[in-house]
Copies of this chain bind each other. A is one copy, B any other.
Amino acid sequence: MPTLLLKSQTTAWIEELPRHLPDLKVRHYPDIGDPAGIDYALVWLPPPGLLKSLPNLKVIFSLGAGVDHILADPELPAGIPIVRISDPHQCHLMSEYALLAVLYFHRAMPAILADQLQAKWTRRWPLYTPETAVGVLGLGEIGQDIARKLCAIGFPVHGWSRSPKRVDGITCHHGQAGLRAMLPLCRYIICVLPLTEATQGIIDAAFLQALPPGAFVINMGRGGHVVDKDLLAALDIGHIAGAFLDVFDVEPLPPAHPYWQHPKVVVTPHCAGDVVPRTAASAIVANIRRHLGGDKLHNVYQPDRGY
């Protein structure tokens, strides 16, 4: 009987997974039982060494679109495929957040909320939307969904990815030259990149300087994408007008971090997207069935590209 170890506080997985594969036995960490009996692991932040302690582990399922939190395990066993999750509802949640963040700045909510505290009636009009572009960094499932929805509500949208892509209605760029060409065009920039060696610290002083004055930064990727001191400096000199940040180098964001009190920063507690058992369980089980049947797994992490 195939057995999966779950390391998550979301207990709905215990019911949802066997709904799609009644034979599947789910053990909920820390109740591991016999480590040799575990075939699959579904984990967010595995305690270092946990995965190595499972001698017959066959597939690691990440409870997120990224795998950086799993690669962080210094004792990660080699040679076991790591599968990234693909959850349509997670895409949906991420897109809601992206639209909210763009519209929050586009419709001057920081100023309007500040005015309200003083009972001040000052009408504020947005830039003309059909001429106000949004750039999306990362054109995987999530980035494409965000780009398409921003396009549907009337923004011109640019997208950037490592390798060339085509997405209907979106102006696509790629590589270093593409990034340099795109940034000056974007009033809003949204990061949904995977965290890799190549993307670590991508939002640095040079990146921010390449954006037009008054641009806004939205980070929904990983904290490691942003060089915090560079972003704070760009906010303080006024070149960047605001930042909407969901992810941080250290989470929860420490109480003394300057982002918390910065008047131009909105801090959200890594809540842009989440993997939802009711919509993600079927994709996980489909991969388990592929594995049981000897077929190729979908969405496997590729070390050469870093995601």
Q: Does A260 contact B (CB under 8 A)?
A: yes
Within 8 A of B (CB), among A106-133: 106-107, 109, 112-113, 115-116, 119, 121-126, 128-129
Count of chain copies: 2
Contact between chains at A153 and B255 (CB < 8 Å): no
Query: In the bound complex, how far is the Cα of B129 from the Cα of A99, in angstroms?
Result: 14
Contact between chains at A96 and B106 (CB < 8 Å): yes
Q: Which residues of B contact A266 (CB under 8 A)?
A: 112-113, 116
Interface-lining segment among A18-26, A197-205, A268-276: A268-276
Please judge, given known A-B contacts A100-B109, A269-B122, whether A129 and B255 are in contact too, CB under 8 Å: no
Number of A interface residues at 8 Å Cβ cutoff, please give it. Answer: 47
Instruction: Give the residue name and chain of the B residue nearest to A122 (CB).
Output: B269
Q: Digit string of A219-260 for contact with B (CB within 8 Å is 1, else 0)? A: 000000000000000000000000000000001110111001
Contact between chains at A107 and B100 (CB < 8 Å): yes
Q: Does A62 contact B (CB under 8 A)?
A: no
Q: Which residues of B contact A251 (CB under 8 A)?
A: 121
Q: Which residues of B contact A89 (CB under 8 A)?
A: 128-129
Query: In the bound complex, how far is the Cα of B99 from the Cα of A103, in angstroms?
Result: 8
Q: Does A92 contact B (CB under 8 A)?
A: yes
Please judge, given known A-B contacts A99-B153, A152-B149, A255-B119, whether A125 and B92 are in contact too, CB under 8 Å: no
Q: Does A49 contact B (CB under 8 A)?
A: no
Instruction: Give the residue name and chain of the B residue nearest to A278 (CB).
Output: B128
Q: Does A93 contact B (CB under 8 A)?
A: yes
Q: Which residues of B contact A109 (CB under 8 A)?
A: 100, 104
Contact between chains at A92 and B154 (CB < 8 Å): yes
Q: Does A160 contact B (CB under 8 A)?
A: no
Please judge, given known A-B contacts A92-B154, A119-B260, A266-B113, whether A271 and B100 are in contact too, CB under 8 Å: no
Instruction: Give the residue name and chain of the B residue nearest to A100 (CB).
Output: B103
Q: Does A95 contact B (CB under 8 A)?
A: yes
Q: Does A216 contact B (CB under 8 A)?
A: no
Q: Which residues of B contact A285 (CB under 8 A)?
A: none
Pairs across A and B, CB under 8 Å, 8 listed: A89-B129, A99-B153, A100-B100, A100-B107, A107-B271, A121-B251, A128-B276, A152-B152
On A, residues with C-beta under 8 Å from B are 89, 92-93, 95-97, 99-100, 103-104, 106-107, 109, 112-113, 115-116, 119, 121-126, 128-129, 149, 152-154, 251-253, 255-257, 260-261, 266-271, 274, 276, 278
